[in-house]
Chain A
């Protein structure tokens, strides 16, 4: 949980090992089925990540990278296009974070999902289809291979390769400068907030 009120860490880079999750249009109902959202905290959601793709009706494991021993320590997820589409549930990145994910590399992300990741300090960096395919293949072949996501430099380094990736400008600034936790940042602008509110016709005319 992002409960720090000060000393928000900057997220310059993330290093570790990776896990490939293949497929376009993976929606947040896949990432965390709605029945696991009947809770009032995010604690313990990690175990339900991709639950219906990982377990059958009798809770037996199915083929899924998250069930594979070799990926259990992974902290960088490599995905394809339009990852995280659908529901706005922050439960999705919360579940992935609690499973152990610190950064996600993909072809493209749904907007609300990427925003939710930023609020948790999780970079969502993008590269083209061929680059991602090659990276996923490398991860499959090298589950223990070191990978480094450099948010500031917009590069990913793995197995002697350095590839260029894109990080949304505001996301990069927020992560690198350590101001991705916006509550305190915005609360400090109280006078400006009041001025804006006072200028809105529908508030002036409110009771």
Chain B
């Protein structure tokens, strides 16, 4: 059992009691909700005549179904409009703050929580979305939950959980040119497997993590779940505190920043903390990573050969064979040169301001390949606004990218933004599952945002290091 880790400390601070089934009841510091997984939970509360316990600790946004082009109401898609109306009614009845598109603060739930200054170290954060692990970047204990658990949280502001093991992932060394946080997490998932984290929480540590900005740390924690770990976190440090201090919330309440900082520092893992497992990775060895298959664990360096299924672990052979058939790739080939039809720059993994800035440096002064449709979907209205002020929108549009409004968009194709037929997509998102981007024959290649920009320009999966960067903002 782990001891003295951030996970142990935050768990203990939030433990209400042990339930008869042996699970712990944990207090939830922040409950984020959105339109897809919450309406059924509100329905269950109505059936039981239970009120929302802590609307003051609940925050709503709309992201999965929101159109990114024409957002005028009613939405063109009746089902989307219906979901939006239902959420509006539920939050109004319960008195929950709602960052709707008219607020100027709407966005993907895992982008807006941090932006609002509500994602803080030492908090427990839950949301009916598996990428809630994102918030662990701040040293919060954050995980995705199902709808029945959303009902529990709405009704009690607590959740029933079993404590898990802690695996420290020590990422040493410096990242090379063109290599990013996204590449680190894709490599971790490739090595440990898509199920390797089941039963574990991941603590990301080491030089390569400590030198990342908060957005990079969010990209890493975001994809913990793709490696099977329901939560992942980084111990808070000065980078974390500086980021938080800049948020509107702490600018308006500087005294709270001073009050809370000692608590934030106290919940970091002790120097002599004990872990259930430790894994080491050398970041300096990494090239940009791209996926060749249909699970996020099927990644390789841009110039590495696609593995032969029979060379993989026994339990991965069939999955790999099916994936290669779907993606139409052969063992021994590299992914460099793989034709793409769509470039998607967006999602809760990689649609924050620094992501867009880095991609813009590749795009500036170049043109999207003729047969590629490329678009940028900022993670939030705030990101969108800042990017427009910095001139990033102009850079992307001049290159032939479509510049959209904030939402989940083509990460999961619940709005109009979907792959068609067997289109191949260079995507900065988190999942390459079959059908994920809206077409069951669609093909997704996951990569970092600069690599998406490079693919958009060349029309094929490319090594971004071959394209000279242009200084922008």
Contact = CB atoms under 8 A, between A and B. Distances in A.
A60 interface: no
A5 B48 contact: yes
A199 B13 contact: yes
Interface stretch (A31-39, A71-79, A153-161): A31-39
B273 interface: no
B149 interface: yes
Nearest to B41: A90
Given A52-B440, A111-B198, A38 B414 contact: yes
Nearest to A117: B146
B120 A179 contact: no
Interface residues of B, number: 82
Select the residue from A5, A89, A171 with max chain B CB neighbours within 10 A: A89
Contacts of A193: 16, 25, 27, 156-158
B378 interface: no
A124 B220 CA distance: 29
Interface in A50-86: 52, 80-82, 85-86
Contact of B22 (A2, A115, A173): A173
Given A110-B198, A170-B21, A202-B29, A3 B44 contact: yes
B195 A90 contact: no
Contacts, number: 219
Contacts of B318: 23-24
B151 A183 contact: yes
Nearest to A83: B195
Nearest to B322: A23
B25 A189 contact: yes
A99 B131 CA distance: 27
B91 to A, nearest CB: 14
Interface stretch (B76-84, B167-175, B380-388, B392-400): B76-84
Chain B CB within 10 Å, residue with most, of A25, A33, A82, A173: A25
B465 interface: no
B164 to A, nearest CB: 8
A154 to B, nearest CB: 15
B144 to A, nearest CB: 4
B319 A25 contact: yes
A4 to B, nearest CB: 9
Interface string A1-39: 111010000000000000000011101011001110111
B412 to A, nearest CB: 5
B29 A112 contact: no
Interface string B126-167: 001110100000000000111111011001111010100000
A182 B40 CA distance: 16
Interface stretch (B97-105, B206-214, B256-264, B455-463): B256-264
Interface of B: 13-17, 19-23, 25, 27, 29, 36-37, 39-40, 43-44, 47-48, 50, 56-57, 64-65, 77, 79-80, 82-83, 86, 120, 122-123, 128-130, 132, 144-149, 151-152, 155-158, 160, 162, 194-195, 198-199, 225-226, 228, 230, 256, 259-260, 263, 295, 297, 315-316, 318-319, 322, 412-414, 431, 433-436, 438, 440
21 contacts: A23-B322, A24-B316, A25-B194, A25-B319, A33-B440, A40-B82, A42-B147, A88-B128, A89-B146, A90-B148, A110-B195, A115-B145, A170-B21, A182-B160, A186-B25, A193-B156, A201-B263, A202-B120, A202-B123, A203-B29, A206-B56
